[in-house]
Each structure stands twice: as structure tokens, then as C-alpha cells.
Amino acid sequence: MKFNRKLLAGLAAAAAIGLGAPSLSAQDAPKSIKIGYAISKTGPNAGGANITQIPNYQLWVQEVNAKGGLMLKQYGKRIPIEIVEYDDRSNSEEAVRAVERLIEQDKVDLLLPPWGTGINLAVGPTFNKHGFPQLTFSAVTDRAPELAKRWPNSFWFLGTSKQYIDALVDLLVKLRKEGKINDQIAMVSVADGFGIDLSKAARAGFEKAGFKIVFDKSYPIGTQDMSPIIGEAQRSKADTFVAFSYPPDTVAITDQARLTAYAPKVMFTGVGTGFPLFPQRFGDNVEGIISLGGWSRDNKATMEYREKIRKLVNRDPDYWGSQIGYASLQMLEQAIERVGKIDRPAIIKELQIGTFDTVLGKIKLENNQPKDAFWLIGQWQNGVFTGVAPHRAGAADFIVPKPAWKK
């Protein structure tokens, strides 16, 4: 009997369609899921990266791998995570090169974001070009809504500068109405993406609310001598001092203010104010200082997360971006497992539309950003960086004036 090979091939194909194509087996599964990141291990951004992001990456990978890895339904088994990392040296160009190397040479399956507004903006086009989800949780920019549309793979977990400024302005307006502060503000800002964006939003917000910015100074990233800045702010007689500063600057500014007994009624500094190094460095003198972020004292999940970080790195997490970053990693994990395979477009879509259980509670993104998921302004009160704004259930009463510096 003669066999028609074409006919047999056709019958085989039809049978496969009718019965369903065979799924991949556990034997087909990769040994690991490669996840890469470039982050500041050296340079001025290293302090922030080492507090807010690196411990979160370590904790999340440790927890996922303790379960056997990420569950991929495609293979019917859990696959462990393998990390590939580079030092971006706090340099945007180096970060872009490192991200390209992770994608093109290391062939990573997924990427985690770098630290800082400026560097996240710099690597954004590369993440977008190659279709990798970018879960930024150490970047604040008013361009977030626009960027989420231009780069639909990007997610902006810390929100916009305007959100923080609106909360700060509302707080200051209330204090002014109560006669607790005058209408003068002294403001300084680091000349990097974070400082540029927030100071721009602040000028508009303060002026609209009728405040007078009597001192407005920008300084280069890496500045160490803050005595001229503090001296001018002190001479301005403003009751409110605002510094949009990076962690090393925040410490230097606070040191100089303490040395010169400069204690404005309202003192805002940060990033870094919510870092564990801040109360370690200044002790009880942190009382009353405010910044971005804040925690809820009564959130059990938050406090359990703090204990995990303490156990891992022997210090507290950042009281602003840390728990938000950990929540974003929980969301990534859930999105991957719902999709059931490393399908980046599908993972991005799930992040856009899904609802996720996190350390902060349930989160559903709107235009690739969380809404009302965390405090915008916090204040050191009795050893805890506590949420004070926006004014809603659970907000602590604001302490004013800031207590005088102790010797």
C-alpha cells in the first residue's frame, strides 16, 4: 500500500488541533528565571539605593526562592530566580549601558529599576524599546501621567511631585490660618531630576497659596558644605524651611542646622529623612522634622515587613519608598503567576488592569499609578516616621513648632 505523506501530515495536524497542542513539560522548563538590575552601589546615590531598593530585592528573591521560585503554569512547576546585577556608579549613562548589557548580552527575562528620579528617566526609553516592565518606586515626577502613556510598560509608584506639594501646601495653609507660622518659605533643592521636579512644583504651589519664597537656592549633586545655604536660610526669617535633597545632602543640611541652632518652626528635608540612618545620626533631634512618605502605626502588615528587613540587614527600612517598593515586587510576582509564563506584554497588561494583595493592602493602578495607597507627608514623632498628610483617617496630629535642637 502506498502512503500519501502529505495526507498523513495533514491528518496529524488536524488531530493536534482537535486534541489541543501538547503543553510544555517540567523537563522543558529553564533552570532559572533571570532577573537583572543596574543600581547605584557607588557614588552619591549609593546610600539611597542601599536603603530603599537593594534590601527589597534581596528579601523578595529570598522569599520567592524559599517557595521554590515563581510558579509558571506553562511548565507546571516553580522556577527559581537568578539575579544578574551591575553597579551604575550613580551615573545615568552608565545605567543605560548596564541595562542594555543585561538585555542584549545577559539575556535577562525581566528587569528591576534603578534608584532615583534622574536615572529612572534615563533608562526609561531602553526599558520601553525592549518591552520590559519598569516598576519605578524611587522616582517622583510630574511627567508620570505623560510617561505612562508614552511608555505603557512604565509604572510610577511614588506618584507625582504635585501630589506631594499639594499635601504639603494644605498642611502649611492650615498652620498659617491657625497663626502658627508666617507666610515666608526658604527653599533649597538638589540640581537633579528629583530636586528640579519638586522645586518647580513647589514654586507654583506655594505662590498660588499666597506664600512668599524669600530664599530659593539650587545646589549641585555631591555638594558637601551646606553652611552657606543654611546661613542664608536662617537670615531669611522664614518660619518654614524646605529642602528637596538627596540622602547625603539631607544629613549635611540637618548637621549644619543643628550646629548653628537653626530651628525653623517647620523643617522639611528629604530624601533620607525617613531612612534609619537619620534617627541613628541625630537621635531625639529628629522629632518634628517632616519629609515625603510616612507609615501608619496601626498597619500590622507594614510592621511585619519592617521586622523582615531588620532580620535581613539589621536595620529599619526607609519609611517612604521601601514598603511601596516591596508592594510593587509583590504585584510583579502575582502578575507573573497569573500569566503563567514569562510573557512580558501579558505581564505588563496584568499590572495595568489587575488588583493585587500587598503589604499596603489591595492596590489597583490607574494610568499605571497607585491611588491613595500611602501617606504623602510624614513627621518624626516618638521614634516613628508617622503619616500626617493628606488629612484622612489614621493621620497623626502635626507637631509644630519643631522642638529646639538638643545638645
pLDDT band at 193 (very low <50, low <70, confident <90, very high): confident
Q: Which residue has the higher pLDDT, 168 or 28?
A: 168
Please check the confidence at residue 217 and state whether its pLDDT lies above 60: yes
Least trusted range by pLDDT, from 35-39, 42-46, 131-135, 240-244: 42-46
Sorted by sequence, the CB contacts under 8 Å of residue 131 that are 6+ apart come out as 153, 344, 345, 348
- Averaged pLDDT for residues 132-147: 95
- What is the DSSP secondary structure assignment for residue 68, as one 8-state letter? T
The region of weakest confidence among 14-23, 60-69, 299-308 is 14-23
Rounded average pLDDT over 11-34: 65
Q: Which fold has domain 161-297+376-389?
A: Rossmann fold (3.40.50)
Going from N- to C-terminal start, the domains of the chain cover 26-159+299-364, 161-297+376-389
Q: What pLDDT sits at residue 25?
A: 74
Mean pLDDT of the region 362-378: 93
Amino acid identity for residue 124 in this structure:
G
Query: In angstroms, how far is CA 405 from the centroid of its own chain?
Result: 30
- According to DSSP, the β-strands at 154-156 and 77-79 are unpaired
CB of 277 within 8 A of CB of 20? Answer: no
pTM of the model: 0.86
Residues 366-372 have a mean pLDDT of: 92
* DSSP secondary structure letter of residue 29: S
Q: What is the mean pLDDT of residues 186-197?
A: 94
Per-residue model confidence (pLDDT) at position 12: 46
Q: Write down the pLDDT at residue 19.
A: 44
pLDDT confidence tier of residue 23, bands split at 50, 70 and 90: low
| Arithmetic mean of pLDDT over the chain | 93
Tell me if 26-159+299-364 shares its fold with 161-297+376-389.
yes
Burial classification of residue 263, based on how many CB atoms lie within 10 Å of its CB (0-12 exposed, 13-18 middle, 19 or more buried): middle
Instruction: Give the CATH class of 26-159+299-364.
Output: alpha beta
**Set of cell numbers at residue 97:** 549601558
When pLDDT is cut at 50, 70 and 90, the band that residue 2 belongs to is very low
377 pLDDT higher than 70: yes
* Contact assessment for residue 241 and residue 215, using Cβ atoms and an 8 Å cutoff: no
Confidence grade of residue 4 (pLDDT, cut at 50, 70, 90): low
The whole-number pLDDT of residue 407 equals: 80
Share of the chain above pLDDT 70, in %: 94
| pLDDT recorded at residue 18 | 42
Tens of pLDDT, residues 82-91: 999 999 999 9
What mean pLDDT do residues 4-10 have? 49
Rounded CA gap, 374 and 258, in Å? 30
Residue 362 has φ and ψ, to the nearest 5°, of -75, 135
**Contact yes or no for 241/290 (Cβ under 8 A):** no
Share of the chain above pLDDT 90, in %: 87
Whether the predicted pLDDT of 14 surpasses 50 = no
pLDDT at site 207 = 97
pLDDT at 201 (0 to 100): 95
- Characterize the bridge pairing of strands 70-72 and 240-244: unpaired
Residue 3: band (very low, low, confident or very high) from pLDDT cuts 50, 70, 90? very low
Q: Is pLDDT at 1 greater than 70 in this prediction?
A: no
